[in-house]
Amino acid sequence: MKTYQALIFDCDGTLADTMPIHYRAWSRAAEQFGFTLSEDRFYSLGGVPVAKIVDMLLREAGLTEDVQRIVEFKEAAYLESLPHIQPVEPVLDIARAYRGQLPLGVASGSTREMVLRTLGQLGITDWFDCIVGADDTERHKPEPDCFLEAARRLGVEPAGCCVYEDTDTGMEAGRRAGMDCVDIRDFHTPARISDAC
């Protein structure tokens, strides 16, 4: 087994099982502002920053709403449900095992503020030596920038990092960064809204 110099984790869907809560927030925003976003499409956009998704959905629907207003509405709806998030225990077990032994980072398509709130809710913020959010890089997943920035902040070459991800977009970003990637979907099945129906 390869020895890594650092581990980098995605947040939503990887460390925290937040995707159903995010989808509920998106559904509320879609209803409020008149666009559509199916659950399958939502999951296919994992790792893409909220503002980019809003802009894309508005263009597709021919709407001219203010992107930032919708982003704020969606994020507020998410924060209302934040107390209900659950950790992805198998991934937390990995982070817990390497905490203090290897540098650990988080690289997310969510804003830094949302990542900090999510990690704070789980009580694990101090496990990580760096946190890179969507507002820390110009380009986002599937581009490798967030992972490269995390490696830089951790003081480790990209080839010495292993990424933990839950989306195809994130896996592609990790590979483009020259990092090994672990697809947590191989050992964790995320909850979906449609499963509860």
Q: Which residues are catalytic?
A: 10
First-to-last C-alpha distance (Å) of the chain: 42
Say how many residues make up the chain.
Answer: 197
